[in-house]
Structure 1
C-alpha cells in the first residue's frame, strides 16, 4: 500500500517513515508541505520520490491508497476531508481537529466513503499499556478506584515552535498531551469521563497558550482520575498508577514514544514485576491500520477514539478557563 505524507514533520521523520517502511507492502510516494523548499529537502533526505505543496495533485495519484496527516492541528480537518473525498484511507495525528464537531464530521465522512480513518494514538500501542490493561481486565487489582497519570516532561527545543506560541494552530499542552492521557484512560478502563475540574498555567516558555495543566476527572463507575501534563518539567518522569480494592499498578516512564519503562503490581501477596513486549509502538499502529484497510480487524485507535479524546481534552481546557466543573457530553456514535 503506497502512502502520501501530509506534513513534512518531525514525528514522521523520527518515527513514522521508518514504521511505514518496516511494515512493508508499499512505498511513500509523496510528501506535502506548506513550503516547497522544505518539502523538496525533506523528500531528498528521506528518499521520497515526489514533493510539493499541492495536496490535490498528490491525492490524484491512483497508486496511493493511504494518507498520513501530521501537519499543524488547524489543518487536519480540511486535509483529511480532501483525502476522504479522494477515496484514500487516513491515519491522522491527534488531536484530529480543532473542535469535536469537526472531528466527528471527519469520521462520519470516512464511514460514508467506505475508507478507514484512524487516530495515531501511539501510547495504546505500547506493550506496557497493553499489559496494564490486561492486569485490570483480569481483576488482579479488584475494582478500580482511581488512576493517576503524570505526563509532565520538557518539550524539546526543536519542538518549541507552534506548540507553545500559536493558539490558532492548536498549540498548548492540553491538545498536545492531555489528549493522549484521555485516550490512555479510555483504553485502560473502557470508560469515558463524565465530569472534569482543572487548572492550567503558562510559565513563560511560550506565548498565548498553556504549558501546564492539572485536572481531576470523574468516571461513570465512580473511579477518579488525576492527570498532570506539562512542557516544562525536565526531571519529573512520567507514569501511570491504577489503584483498586485488591491491589495497585505502578508504571514508570511509560508515557513515551519508545518501548521502555517498568510495570509493577502490588497486592497483599507482595510486589511483582509485570512483563510486557517491547515492540515498536509506531510499527504496531501502522500494521493495525494496514490490516484494517484489508478488512482484517480495526485500527489500534479508531477515528471515534480520536473524537472522544479530543472531547475530553477540550473539556479540561474549558474547566481550566472557567474555573467551573464541566460536564462532558458524549460526542456521539461509538
Structure 2
C-alpha cells in the first residue's frame, strides 16, 4: 500500500461538496490537489480556476493515470461512483467516495473487492458518524448508561434548494431522499447501535413544490420502520421540511438521550440525557469540522495507523438498508435486507 505523505489528490467530479467541504480539509491537512475531472471540459476548467487547482481534464482515462496522484475524491452523480471507484482502485489510487457508494449492493461489493485486490484504501464520505455528538451517543449506548436500548428514532428532515444542479430532485435513477438522506440515517444508526438493519417497512411520497403529478421523479420524503437486531428503529428522511430540527433519540430502560440539530454538515447540535422528567444537557467538547475528521481517518487508514470513519463494508451496509427501504416503499411489503442485491 502506498502511504506516501503528504497525499496528492485528484477530484473526480467538479462538485459543490468537494469545493465547499472536502477541498479545504485536503489542503488543511497539508495535502495538495493536482487536478479535477469532469465529463464536461468547460466546467472542469472553470471549476479548476475558481478553486485554485492547476489542472483539469474531461478524459477519465487520463485522470486514472495521472502521475504521482495517490488519492482521489469521487463525488460525481451517484451512478458513476461504482465504476469510477473500481477504475481508480485498479490504477492504484486510494479512494474516498461520496455516498451512496453505489446504486446496488452487487456494485458496492465489487468496489470493496477492487480496493482489497489492488491494496488501496476505500472510504465512504459518510461524515455524520464522526461527529462528537453522535460518538457521545454511541458511548452512552455501549457503556450501558441508558440501560438496555429499546428503540431509536431519527429524523433527517431538511428543506432542499432547487438550485442547479437539481438532479437530486428529478433524477429517477440516482436522485431522491432515500439514496441521499436514508443512507446517512442508516450509517448513523449503525454507528450508534453497533449493528445493521435486517428488515424494513416504508412509505415514500413526492410532496415538494417541485413535484407534479406523474412527473416520474424520485421520492422526496420517506418514513420507515426498521429492525436492527432486536431494536426497532423509526426514520423520517425528507427534503420538504423547513421548520423542524433534525433529531436522534435513543430510548433505554434506564434513561434516554435526545439530540437536536445534530444531523448537519456543520459540527452542531445539543444533547440531553433524560431520566423521568429531568433533562440534563450533555457537554460535547469536540466541535471540529466533520470533514476534517473524515480526512483524518482516511489518512490514518492509508498510513496503517487507524481506520476510516466509514469504510467500504460500513458503506455497503448503509446502502443495503436504504435500498431495502426503497424496495419496501415501492412494493408495499416488508423487505429483508439480506435479500437486497
Query: Do these two structures clear the TM 0.5 threshold for a shared fold by scoring above it?
Result: yes
Aligned residues of 1:180 and 1:309 also touching (Cα < 8 A): yes
Give the 3 Å change call, closer, same or farther, for CA 245–57 of structure 1 in structure 2: same
| Residue 235 of structure 1, CA deviation | 1.1
Deviations 1:86-137, CA, capped at 9 Å, x for gaps: 0000000111111010011101110111100010000011111111111111
Please say if residues 323 and 340 of structure 2, whose CA atoms lie closer than 8 Å, have aligned partners that are also in contact: no
Partner in structure 2 of residue 124 of structure 1: 129
Q: How far did residue 156 of structure 1 move?
A: 2.1
Residues of 2 paired with 1:79 and 1:16: CA distance? 18
Residue 184 (structure 1) aligns with: 188
Cα offset for 1:63?
1.2
State which of 168, 172, 175 in structure 2 corresponds to 1:171: 175
Distance in 2 of aligned mates of 1:247 and 1:199: 30
Question: Residue 331 of structure 1: CA displacement?
Answer: 7.7
2:63 corresponds to:
58
Decide whether the 8 Å contact of 1:141 with 1:245 is kept in 2. yes
Change (3 A) 1:90 1:331: farther
Would you say 1:249 and 2:257 are equivalent positions? yes
Distance 1:19 1:156 in 2: 25
Displacement after TM superposition at 1:159 (Å) = 5.6
In structure 2, what is the equivalent of residue 113 of structure 1? 118
**Is 1:137–2:142 an aligned residue pair?**
yes
How many Å apart are 1:268 and its aligned residue?
4.9
* CA-CA distance at 1:271 after TM superposition: 2.2
Distance change >3 Å, CA 96–CA 148, structure 1 → 2: same
Distance 1:160 1:264, change over 3 A: farther
- 2: distance between equivalents of 1:75 and 1:44? 24
1:198 maps to 2:206:
no
> SS of 2:291's equivalent?
helix
Give the deviation of 1:283 after TM superposition. Answer: 0.7
| Distance across 2 between alignment mates of 1:31 and 1:157 | 25
Are 2:25 and 1:19 equivalent residues in the alignment?
A: yes
Residues 1:77 and 2:82 aligned together: yes
The separation in 2 between residues aligned to 1:300 and 1:241, in whole angstroms, is 21
1:158 Cα deviation after fit? 2.5
TM-score (normalizing by structure 1): 0.96
Q: Does 1:9 align with 2:15?
A: yes
Query: How far has the Cα of 1:272 moved from its partner?
Result: 1.7
Contact 1:291 1:297 in 2 (8 A): yes
Give how far 1:85 is off.
0.8
User: How do 1:161-310 and structure 2 match up within 5 A?
Assistant: 161-168=166-173, 170-204=174-208, 205-206=210-211, 207=215, 208-220=217-229, 222-268=230-276, 270-276=278-284, 277-310=286-319
- Kindly state the Cα deviation for residue 244 of structure 1 after the two structures are TM-superposed: 0.4
What SS does structure 2 have at the residue aligned with 1:31? strand
- Name the count of aligned residue pairs: 329
Q: 2:133 and 2:164 mapped to 1: Cα distance?
A: 26
Task: Structure 2: state its 5+ residue gaps.
Answer: 1-6
- Please list the CA deviations of residues 232-283 of structure 1 after superposition, one character each: whole Å capped at 9, or x if unmatched: 1111210100000000000000010001110111125932211121011001
Partners of 2:328 and 2:196 in 1: how far apart? 16
Residues in 2 aligned to 1:272 and 1:23: alpha-carbon distance in whole angstroms: 36
Given that 1:141 and 1:267 are in contact with CA atoms closer than 8 Å, whether structure 2 keeps it comes out as no
Give the Cα separation in 2 of the matches to 1:199 and 1:232: 15
Which stretch shows the higher mean deviation, 180-189 or 273-282? 273-282
Secondary structure of the corresponding residue to residue 155 of structure 2 = strand
Between the aligned partners of 1:166 and 1:330, the Cα distance in structure 2 is 25
- The one of 32, 38, 53 equivalent to 2:37 is 32
